[in-house]
Amino acid sequence: MFDTLAPVTILHADLDAFYASVEQLLDPDLRGRPIAVGGGVVLAASYEARAYGVHAGMPGWQARRLCPRLRFVGGHFREYQRLGDAVIAVLHDFTPVVERISIDEAFLDVRGSTHLFGPPAAIATEIRRRVRGEIGLAVSVGVAGTKHLAKVASQVAKPDGLVVVEPGREREFLRPLPVELMWGVGPVTRERLAARGIATIGQLADVSPATLEGLLGAAAGAKLAALAVDRDGRRVHAGGRAGSVGAQSALGRRTPTPELLAVALAHLADRVATRLRAAARAGRTVTVRVRFVGRRSVTRSLTVAEPISATRTLAELAVDLAGAALADHPAEREITLLAVSVSNLVPEPALQLVLPLALDGDRRRPGTARWALDRSVDAVRARFGREAVGFAAVQLSDLGGVPDAFRELAQRDP
């Protein structure tokens, strides 16, 4: 039976309005002003801008209409990485059990550290003090007995706060909170729940798991039913190497023409393969996910004999897999998302070119001229930036809006 009196040793630390806060840290003239990172699309907004309704993903024109004083700034992506890493280093000063889940947030388990630094609440207070004093950023922290509850608590603590959920008060704490604070509740799920009169976590907890499974699907319904009553047995795992590397792109509603598939999947393959090579990894299993209108998704996978990290090879395999998925669902006329991932990873030392260099019939072999070409592209990007070189079809397409450097921060591998 789930132990509601488990010790509250799990912390969730989440930097406040991270990207916008970094810009305000780098340029003092921006402090206290409504700013947004981006241009055509809002990538991140400061709390001052959020007060006007500006939020990430909003078109720039709409954000300017809501907040005429809004100032757009370009992103300092290397600074985001540097400062995010600096915060994680502070967390490691308190415990080795740190699970980084994004550039600006992480879980900690401090059960083995209390004899050195005091109770969890005191550790959270000291973390906040050090991050503010040494790095110049605000971090909100939630302290609880489960990962789910700690993450919810950190959201309640924002901005720049600390919330501790004591043992035995979990249900009382969760009950009045809006369902969108829960892991896995996005806009679509929130709307489905609202249509059934479910707006708070307490109301969600009162619904039977069977009803939720019928409404949201078996997996999502069972998961939310458990989390609504804080039934979460997941542990904090110290960072290790990723078991897979992936990327996805939301497309709106598009007809899956061969041209769209080629460009979108080349873009995703470039992002995935670049990250694989940067980590000196390659993978044998390629998976493509296609999402149709209505959020129904299908996946297709292929395991090849030799591990791959070549961009063009991955793109070609991804196009084949996406084509197979679409051929199996001829009634679907539009897609909304494509995703590519590579798993079954192995170390990839520097490869020797395998002769002959002709590409015909050789696209799945790792030691081809493609690998050498990719390394040259990687070297150019390392020196001049990611946007310095890329696929012409991708660069000239309308699939942009979010810089790849920003995407890479969000999808950083452990």
Among 270, 281, 302, smallest CA distance to 393 is for: 270
DSSP 345: E
Distance in angstroms (rounded) separating the CA atoms of residues 142 and 16:
13
Q: Among the options 23, 105, 170, 408, which is catalytic?
A: 105
- Please state, in angstroms and rounded to a whole number, the distance separating the CA atoms of residues 261 and 255: 10
Q: Residue 386, CB half-sphere, CA atoms under 13 Å: how many?
A: 17
Give Dmax (Cα) for the chain. 68
Is residue 105 annotated as part of the catalytic site, yes or no?
yes
Asked whether the beta carbons of 90 and 127 are under 8 A apart, the reply is yes
Q: What is the DSSP string of 190-239?
A: HHHHHHTT--BHHHHHTS-HHHHHHHH-HHHHHHHHHHHTT---PPP---
Q: Which of 257, 251, 247, 263 is nearest to 394 (CA)?
A: 263
Rounded-to-integer distance, Cα 300 and Cα 326, Å: 10
Residues annotated catalytic, as ranges: 105
